[in-house]
Amino acid sequence: MPTSEKSPAARVKTSTAKTKAAPAVKRRAADLAYDAIETLLSTMQLEPGSPIVEAELAERTGMGRTPVREALLRMISIDLIVQQPRRGLLVSNIDLAEHLDVIQTRRVLENLLAACAARRASAQQRKEILLCAKRMVAAAKRGNLEEYMQEDHALDVIVHTASRNRSAVKSVTPLIVQCRRFWYAYQDAGDITEGALAHLELAQGISTGDEAAAITGANRLMDYLEDFAKRIIES
């Protein structure tokens, strides 16, 4: 599978550069640090149960310790990082028993976000959303997992911005990371082309302003993730 090595911070910068759909807003260092650490978590470069060392993360992400510390506090608040007595900070475990609940909860929020984005996205955002999804399909066909995941993240950023529903975005974000971690941990059992086509259906609904079609696409994506999770749990 062809991949090219990039630092998490570089991947975040690439994704950010590709998602300038809304008026330019300078992102805070803590947000960039959060995205970089999220990439490490999602791609299992920080494995469940592994210790978190602030200085090491600052070096790996190329960010300062203050934004890294702020990002870690956010992750503690949504249970991506856990703090344990005498052991410090650890990456949270993937709970197989609860993962289907995670997907079911995410489904409700994804449907809402899809509808909001279909209704509220700007013309430029609609173009960018469709372009991201098409790049996901192209990456899947090439078997390039790194690019696929990069475009997946970029698509989320644009859709969330376009939805203009900060409450739903705040609620869905940790669920997305949990789903990405689960998928990445068991990726050999997954079909990224199927996942890319589900994202494309979602993007097409949003890009045309068709709320019902966007929701259908969101449900197709959640069906894909749910079927994948069931295969892993039942195996």
Q: What is the pLDDT of residues 93-133, one digit of tens each?
A: 988 889 999 999 999 999 999 999 999 999 999 999 999 99
Helical spans, DSSP H, in 164-210:
166-185, 192-207
Residues 100 and 32 placed together within one structural domain of the fold: no
Residues 185 and 132 placed together within one structural domain of the fold: yes
Give residue 18's pLDDT: 44
**Percent of the chain's residues with pLDDT above 90:** 69
- The rounded mean pLDDT for the chain is 88
Across 172-186, average pLDDT: 90
Amino acid letter, 30 = A
| 62 HSE (CA, 13 A, CB side) | 11
Q: Specify the higher pLDDT residue, 39 or 200.
A: 200
Amino acid letter, 190 = G
Q: Which domain holds residue 193?
A: 96-234
Residues 115 and 49 placed together within one structural domain of the fold: no
| pLDDT tens, position by position, 29-67 | 888 999 899 889 988 899 999 999 999 999 999 999 999
Residues 187 and 221 placed together within one structural domain of the fold: yes
Give residue 229's pLDDT: 93
* Residue 17: band (very low, low, confident or very high) from pLDDT cuts 50, 70, 90: very low
pTM value is 0.80
What sign results for the dihedral spanned by CA atoms 154, 156, 161, 167? negative
* CATH code assigned at 45: 1.10.10.10
Number of domains in the chain: 2
Crossing angle between the packed helical segments 145-163 and 166-185, to the nearest 10 degrees: 170
Q: Give the 3-state DSSP-derived string for 78-120, with helices as H, strands as E and coil as C.
A: CCCEEEECCCEEEECCCCHHHHHHHHHHHHHHHHHHHHHHHHH
- Range in 37-46, 131-140, 222-231 the model is least confident about: 37-46
d(CA 216, CA 164): 20
* Block residue for tokens 């996205």: 121
Crossing angle between the packed helical segments 192-207 and 211-234, to the nearest 10 degrees: 160
Residues 20 and 52 placed together within one structural domain of the fold: yes
* Residue 26: band (very low, low, confident or very high) from pLDDT cuts 50, 70, 90: low
* Domain contains 70: yes
